[in-house]
Amino acid sequence: MEHDLVLIEGLEVRTVIGIYDWEREIRQTVRLDIEMTWDISKAGKTDNIEDTLDYKAVSKRLIEFIEASSFGLIEKLAESCATILLQEFQVPWIRLKMSKPGAVRGSENVAVLIERGHKQ
């Protein structure tokens, strides 16, 4: 398999995230940047959506999950999203950056970056 990547960048979703009482009462934005290994050669030849990783379906599934979730830590949310990608979409390897913009005064962003699976 080639080292092709399918990317979703800057996917923003509002959810309940945080450990403080005030955070449990509001919805905040989290931002995802995702790299997923996927062999796109067949889709590159056929021009058929069934032959590739449907990034719209991936995005829709993650949005629905995140909007309905309520986690304390972005680490747990990132792990849960990674599990969805690996198990439900059979993505072999992912790099997922989960950001929480404005979480720390004076910073633009805080984030975790995880890699899961096996890059073939």
What is residue 83's three-state secondary structure? helix
- Amino acid identity, position 119: K
CA distance 27 to 66: 11
Which residue is catalytic, options 45, 56, 60, 100?
A: 100
Q: Starting at the edge strand that comes first in sequence, how are the strands of the sheet with 28-37 ordered? A: 70-71, 5-17, 28-37, 93-99, 111-117
What is residue 100's three-state secondary structure? coil
Please say if 60 is a catalytic residue.
no
Residues that are catalytic: 100
